[in-house]
Amino acid sequence: MITVAYVGFGVSVREYHIPYVENRDDVKVKYVFRREEDIAQNAAYEPFYPEIIFTTDFNQILNDEEVNLVVVNTPDQFHVSYAKQILNAGKHALIEKPFAPTAKEAREVFVLAKEKGLICMPNQNRRFDADVLAVKEVLASGKIGDLVKLESHYDYFREDGWYPYFGTLYNLAVHTIDQVISMFGMPDQTHFDVRSIHHPGKADDYYDLEFYYGNSKATVNTSMCVMIDYPRFTVHGTKGSFTLPPVVHNSGKKKVVGRHKISRANAPEDRWGTLVYENENGERVTEKVPVGCAHYERIYDSLVDAIEHGKEKCVKDEEVIRVLEILEEATAVAKSHSPENR
């Protein structure tokens, strides 16, 4: 049995963690820790979780022998500090993305976990998004032949950009880069087009990151200047092509106070993908490809297997480190657009 404590009680915990473990037989949620100064912003949700102990004493969690997994969902700058405290207390850790500010700090955490004989992994759950799983299914079918190019878009139109400071890469690209690496592994080469449009040298509000794999290429793109949406994914191969409709953003969704429920229903048909390919008779075939639901519980499937059965983690240490290296390099490119550097 995995007994979990959460650090933080924001949207991530309430919508992307607890709903995916609350009905499992092998995972039990015991605690939520939040700082005194953070209680008010989410206090309205606490009565909906009577089975959970809410505490402001982090040591209560660290000293509880029943707790063997602590999940960190705090602002990014606290991830490494909490991870080290958890591991030094002899507990496994799941850390929200980005795992660490730098690849160097990530290596330090992984070394500590190895020394302690513990599991530490980032919550790169978006590799299990419904649209990503649909792309993987199409690639595995072989219908489009050998991959030539995959293009991933996660765009917005915001007149003043995403943030007036750096953070778009670490908040969005951390997922889309990980999705590419989960599909194709480590790239042979990378190329970065990162711009600082709305706040020159102070923000990273545009990026086009290219990943080369032999004779194929994958790109991840985000811009705050897209009013006519691109497809979420466009995939071209030697025998066919596949597209998925533009992303549907949740950022403007109204929050309802209560216990979050997840849907296991397939996406509506207007969210399905379109696959066009030549079959073995040379005939052009067009198919609609259903898009299912997200499977974020697979992060916990992997943790249970790793902790209780010694299996390999679904998000490998070297993948985490490479993603962070890319984020650091790309952020440096954005900073080079400072007016002082022109």
pLDDT tens, position by position, 3-56? 999 999 999 999 999 999 999 999 999 999 999 999 999 999 999 999 999 999
- pLDDT beyond 80 at 220: yes
Mean pLDDT, rounded, of the chain: 93
Write out pLDDT tens, residues 235-282: 999 999 999 998 776 555 567 788 999 989 999 999 999 999 999 999
Measuring CA to CA, which residue among 326, 143, 172, 324 is closest to residue 240? 143
The residue that leads in pLDDT, 335 or 105, is: 105
- pLDDT beyond 60 at 181: yes
Q: How many angstroms separate the CA atoms of 113 and 107, rounded?
A: 10
- Cα 274 versus chain centre, distance: 25
Q: What is the mean pLDDT of residues 90-115?
A: 98
Q: What is the pLDDT of residue 48?
A: 97
- pLDDT beyond 70 at 327: yes
Q: By the 8 A CB rule, do 262 and 14 touch?
A: no
User: Tokens standing for 219?
Assistant: 């790109």
Q: What is the pLDDT of residue 164?
A: 75
CATH placement of domain 2-123: 3.40.50.720
CA-based R_g, the chain, Å: 21
- pLDDT beyond 80 at 308: yes
Contacts of 1 (CB under 8 A, 6+ apart): 26, 27, 28
Q: What is the mean pLDDT of residues 213-238?
A: 96
Q: What is the pLDDT of residue 252?
A: 53
Q: Where are the domains of the chain?
A: 2-123, 126-296+326-341
Q: What is the pLDDT of residue 159?
A: 83
Same fold, 2-123 and 126-296+326-341: no
* Strands lying side by side in the sheet with 206-213: 189-195, 206-213, 216-223, 147-153, 233-237, 240-244, 273-278, 284-289
* Residue type at position 35: R
Q: Is the CATH code 3.40.50.620 the one for domain 126-296+326-341?
A: no
Q: What is the pLDDT of residue 161?
A: 74
pTM above 0.75, yes or no: yes
SS (H, E, C) the chain: CEEEEEECCCHHHHHHCHHHHCCCCCEEEEEEECCHHHHHHHHHHHHHCCCCEEECCHHHHHCCCCCCEEEECCCHHHHHHHHHHHHHCCCEEEECCCCCCCHHHHHHHHHHHHHHCCCEEECCHHHHCHHHHHHHHHHHHCCCCCEEEEEEECCCECCCCCCCCCCHHHHHHHHHHHHHHHHHCCCCEEEEEEECCCCCCCCCCEEEEEEEECCEEEEEEEECECCCCCCCEEEEECCEEEEECCCCCCCCCCCCCCCCCCCCCCCCHHHCEEEEEECCCCCEEEEEECCCCCCCHHHHHHHHHHHHHCCCCCCCHHHHHHHHHHHHHHHHHHHCCCHHHC
pLDDT-based confidence at residue 337 (cuts at 50, 70, 90) = low
Write out pLDDT tens, residues 281-293: 999 999 999 999 9
Scan for tokens 């929050």, then name that residue.
255
The residue that leads in pLDDT, 228 or 253, is: 228
Q: What is the mean pLDDT of residues 96-107?
A: 97
Q: What is the pLDDT of residue 160?
A: 81
| Burial class of residue 269, CB neighbours in 10 A (0-12, 13-18, 19+) | exposed
Q: By the 8 A CB rule, do 315 and 124 touch?
A: yes
Q: What percentage of the chain has pLDDT greater than the value 70?
A: 96
